[in-house]
Amino acid sequence: MTPTVLSIRNLTKHYGSGGTRFDALKGITLDIQEGESIAIVGKSGSGKSTLMHILALLDAPSGGELSVDGTDAATLRGKRLNLLRNRTFGFVFQQFFLTPNATVLENVMLPLKIARIGSRQRKRRALAALEQLDLADKARNRAVNLSGGQKQRVVIARALVNDPRIIFADEPTGNLDSATGATVEDILFSLNKERGITLVIVTHDDDLAARCDRRIYLRDGLMVDAVDVHAPAMHVTSTAVVGA
């Protein structure tokens, strides 16, 4: 059985309190296995982004349990939390979040810089990541001068550069035309297949979701459906249940 990397039990999240209280997640239970690709699908306001943020340890849940590699996330603080974020996770955002006036290379090197890796090795690894995404020739260009597809590829290179185990992608193709979007999807899925990187994609695009091993449908903070597309024998999906 493939090890479970992320596991949540009866997870809730609410914002505000009293009359302005808003429940974003009303109890989600989910296990994510190493190496699988999973799509979290839902309309805006369904809580799918909130779920991803909590899975990526960017946000703290209001209730329930979250464990990473069997470690309770609530016990992760300070240095250990930062180390985990830096080493384990890669992020691909719809809005790219590139530093516009910095070069492509500098943008890609950022996670390595945070990881306190020396400048020579930093450069070598960032160039290798850009090479992989056919962007080596753009390394010296400023991020602001790139097209949308190029930007998203830079973002993927940045997510990839520190050899993460899990890549979180928030609407990775949302800002791209369908042809460019398809290229970006291909890149993400090839990373999943070839390097075994776990892929957690948040999207409202059914076509993108259909390419994932598993789909989780959210509505109003509740899991309403779970579909195992390929139903591969190695993935155990029975743990995905409809939340209470």
**Which lies closer to another protein via its Cβ, residue 27 or residue 164?**
164
Residue 38 CA: distances (Å) to CA of 2, 79, 223, 228:
15, 28, 14, 9
Among 22, 72, 99, 121, binds another protein (CB under 8 A): 99
On the 0-12 / 13-18 / 19+ scale of CB atoms within 10 A, 172 is buried
Could you tell me the smallest distance in angstroms from the CB atom of residue 83 to another protein? 6
Among 23, 59, 65, 228, binds another protein (CB under 8 A): 59
Could you say whether residue 13 binds another protein (CB under 8 A)?
Answer: no
Could you say whether residue 172 binds another protein (CB under 8 A)?
Answer: no
On the 0-12 / 13-18 / 19+ scale of CB atoms within 10 A, 218 is buried
Q: Which helix (H) or strand (E) holds 66?
A: strand 63-68
# of chain residues touching another protein (CB under 8 A)? 27
Could you say whether residue 124 binds another protein (CB under 8 A)?
Answer: no
Could you say whether residue 97 binds another protein (CB under 8 A)?
Answer: yes
Could you say whether residue 78 binds another protein (CB under 8 A)?
Answer: yes
Could you say whether residue 144 binds another protein (CB under 8 A)?
Answer: no
Could you say whether residue 115 binds another protein (CB under 8 A)?
Answer: yes
Could you say whether residue 234 binds another protein (CB under 8 A)?
Answer: no
Q: Which residues of 144-171 are buried (b: 16+ CB within 10 A; e: fewer)?
A: eebeebbbbbbbbbbbbbbebbbbbbbb
- The alpha helices in 11-164, defined as continuous H runs, are 48-55, 78-88, 104-114, 119-132, 148-160
Binding region for another protein (CB under 8 A): 53, 56, 58-59, 78-79, 81-87, 89, 91, 93, 97, 99, 101-102, 110-111, 113-116, 119
